[in-house]
Structure 1
Amino acid sequence: MLPLPFSPLVWLLLACVLVQLFYFAYYFLPFANRPPEPTAEEPGPDEEPVSILICARNELEHLRQLMPLLLQQDYPAGFEVVLVDDRSSDDTYLYVQQLTQYYPHVRLVEVRRTPDGLSPKKYALTLGIKTARYPRLLFTDADCIPATNQWLRLMQRGFAQPADMVLGYSAYAPAPGLLNKLIRFETLVTGAQYLSFAWRGKPYMGVGRNLAYTLQTFRSTKGFASHIRSLSGDDDLLVQDAVAQGARVAVVAEPSAHTLSEPAAQWGTWWRQKRRHLSAGKRYRFADRWRVGKFIGTNLLFYFTAFGLLFSRPDWIPLAVLWSLRTGAMLLTYHQLGRRLDDRLPPALLPLLDAIYSFYYLALGISLFLHRTLRWK
């Protein structure tokens, strides 16, 4: 048998690159370059009234920023804002109660105690949904703001595709420092996955900062019943259950339909936040875990394999070729995604951010395996 011209690690590296190129070419780039969605100025099917739901705990300062922007939403069909005060110890209740006196379409639901063993946020959201007047529900978080006063109108356009759920994108505000750029990179890559997979007909998650679904969809899953004791998953696990029940999922990703969130300012805060978010992944359908895991896994394996090839001088040339090929494709893909989602990052930092992102996820996975205790704020 003739010896292979390169070491087995080169072929492993090639396999990783080919998998990555498939995701770039089949999911991410076509999604980034898809035809533009209708603008707010164009006529559209947004004649149904909507209930906007926010669950807040000790978020008074954020609510002072968010509520005026929600009340200014341009939506002729009408809407209500249901604010669920989840055991706050600040003046959230008094602030929202004052708003209800001036704005009849602002409604307050107070949660004084969460039953033992139940997820606090899911319990609070369930009470809010039971109070909602309208069959279309739109969700965001207290520490988010809509990108424009057309957010509500554009998110409702997704139901006309037709759909039972609408997935939106929620970006993080730019700020100085490596942590901010890493948070925004992770958000961009995660958004590229769940939005492009759904666009290709394989929805698996959404983010509660910008998510809409019908009351009937919530009822078809029996609410959060299948995971009410799990701390996380009020968004992605609900999508999992809804898709299993045959729900149709649409994507609305135009920048005017985004929400903007305040990112964590400390590494520890982001670490705890990501641990809580990733803990729901074990409940995903196997096909979804395989699809997402294959992308992240080959990303990580690429770096381990490339590092091993650094010690094999005869393999430096194929290593350089494959590294350059993947890096070029990655820069092109993430640049196009950043342009389409209006969430741009410095191109020179993308290779570094991609490497940190891969190993950060490995560390998170190990942490969740060894220490499974989570907490809601």
Structure 2
Amino acid sequence: MWLLLAVVLVQLYYAAYYFLPFAHRPPEPATGPDDEPVSVLVCAHNELENLRRLLPLILQQDYPAGFELVLIDDRSDDDTYLYVQQLTQYYPHVRLVSVARTPDGLSPKKYALTLGIKSARYERLLFTDADCIPATNQWIRYMQRGFNRPADMVLGYSAYAEEPGFLNKLIRFETLLTGAQYLSFAWRGQPYMGVGRNLAYTQPVFYQTKGFASHIRSLSGDDDLLVQDAVQQQARVAVAAEPGAHTLSEPAHTWGEWWRQKRRHLSAGRQYRLADRIRIGTFIGANLLYYCMAIGLLFSRPDWVPLATVCLVRTGAILAVYYQLGRRLEERLPVAWLPFLDAVYFFYYLALGISLFLYRTLRWK
């Protein structure tokens, strides 16, 4: 019981120090300086249908200082090239970078992104993926405003579209909890990752970290490992968590697809700084220990009153914090589902960790 109480106190510390203050922080101003042009980069591999949806929404962005749209066609064999070429005839600020092949042993996406970054005209760079869309036509404005804090790198939030079914609820819960971690940690001055679906940084930061050189052969990590390297170089990191700064992505539709996606994402964690691994591992480990010990005590001969009290306090406090985070990030999950999603998520995370330890081969599209 004392150990159970200790892990609950650890969880309440994360909730009280990181999550709740972040959820209640004042909203970002609706107006601000927009005096620097930006290069918006999208890397695509056989994503024609997604690009037909995404690119018009980017071109409709309201950003007074102006922007260019750099589409990186990474070895596509659909009609991506023809579609973007047609756009360049009507929109002079749309540019196409074509990648015919990737050198052996290098991550295809990182190599393609490097070519796109080198061709970008502006110092500020804003990234999203082809299967995303900006939540509003103020997306560029909100993300670029993060540089005025001042900062060299801006972390945004990317939600997943709501669909029927339990898998979709679990994906959105995992996205909310992951976003709460990396955004609130960065807000507290401890940045450790971002997501390539909604990330901005400057060209000087990219070159100071030597780009993706330290992990160019790893399939994952074009976002979080770059943040790791940038922080090592004393880069200043800001957070843009207003709903207008969000992007929205298509979720995985099968358990297998999501399993492979999460394996790729988690595989980069082995290269995080020790302090970050300890901080994240403590949070994940405390939640896993809580469930394992609570189940163990339930089937032993417990003193029911202390056990029920600890579990009720923990569940009520954590769910209240998750609800506040959902409101802050506009991730509206059914409150009645949160206890079940919380339990399933942490055991799913444990299974992913075991899988990565036993089988390290990753798949890429």
Instruction: Settle same-fold status: TM greater than 0.5.
Output: yes
Question: Which amino acid in the other structure matches residue 224 of structure 2?
Answer: D
Question: Which amino acid in the other structure matches residue 45 of structure 2?
Answer: R
Question: Which amino acid in the other structure matches residue 179 of structure 2?
Answer: G
Question: Which amino acid in the other structure matches residue 89 of structure 1?
Answer: D
Equivalence map 1:262-301=2 (5 Å)? 262-301=250-289
The answer to whether 1:234 aligns with 2:225 is no
- Distance apart, 1:45 and its partner CA: 2.1
Where 1:51 maps in the other structure, the secondary structure is strand
Q: Name the CA distance, whole Å, in 1 between partners of 2:323 and 2:299.
A: 32
Farther-moved stretch of structure 1 (83-92 vs 269-278): 83-92
Partner of 1:127: 115
Equivalence map 1:192-203=2 (5 Å)? 192-203=180-191
Q: Name the CA distance, whole Å, in 1 between partners of 2:307 and 2:170.
A: 26
Q: Name the CA distance, whole Å, in 2 between partners of 1:317 and 1:75.
A: 58
Partner of 1:375: 363
Q: Name the CA distance, whole Å, in 2 between partners of 1:331 and 1:20.
A: 12
Q: Which of 14, 20, 33 is the aligned partner of 2:11?
A: 20
Question: Which amino acid in the other structure matches residue 11 of structure 2?
Answer: Q
Partner of 2:70: 82
Partner of 1:33: 24
Deviations for 1:137-194, whole angstroms, at most 9, x for unmatched residues?
Answer: 0000000000000000010100010000000000000000000000000000000000
- Distance apart, 1:311 and its partner CA: 2.0
Q: Tell me how many residue pairs correspond in the alignment.
A: 365
Q: CA RMSD in A?
A: 0.7
The answer to whether 1:112 aligns with 2:100 is yes
**TM-score (structure 1 length as normaliser):** 0.96
- Distance apart, 1:49 and its partner CA: 0.4
Partner of 1:7: none
**TM-score (structure 2 length as normaliser):** 0.99
Q: Name the CA distance, whole Å, in 2 between partners of 1:124 and 1:188.
A: 29
Could you list the structure 1 runs, at least 4 aligned residues long, displaced by more than 3 angstroms after superposition: none
Deviations for 1:328-361, whole angstroms, at most 9, x for unmatched residues?
Answer: 0111101000001111100110010001100101
Where 1:313 maps in the other structure, the secondary structure is coil
Partner of 1:180: 168
Where 1:155 maps in the other structure, the secondary structure is helix
Question: Which amino acid in the other structure matches residue 175 of structure 1?
Answer: E
Question: Which amino acid in the other structure matches residue 166 of structure 1?
Answer: V
- Distance apart, 1:283 and its partner CA: 0.2
Question: Which amino acid in the other structure matches residue 290 of structure 1?
Answer: I
Partner of 1:224: 212
Deviations for 1:93-114, whole angstroms, at most 9, x for unmatched residues?
Answer: 1111111111111111111111
Q: Name the CA distance, whole Å, in 2 between partners of 1:311 and 1:126.
A: 55
Aligned-residue identity in percent: 80
Structure 1 residue ranges without an equivalent (≥5): 1-9
The answer to whether 1:144 aligns with 2:135 is no
- Distance apart, 1:76 and its partner CA: 1.2
Q: Name the CA distance, whole Å, in 2 between partners of 1:337 and 1:250.
A: 18
Where 2:69 maps in the other structure, the secondary structure is strand
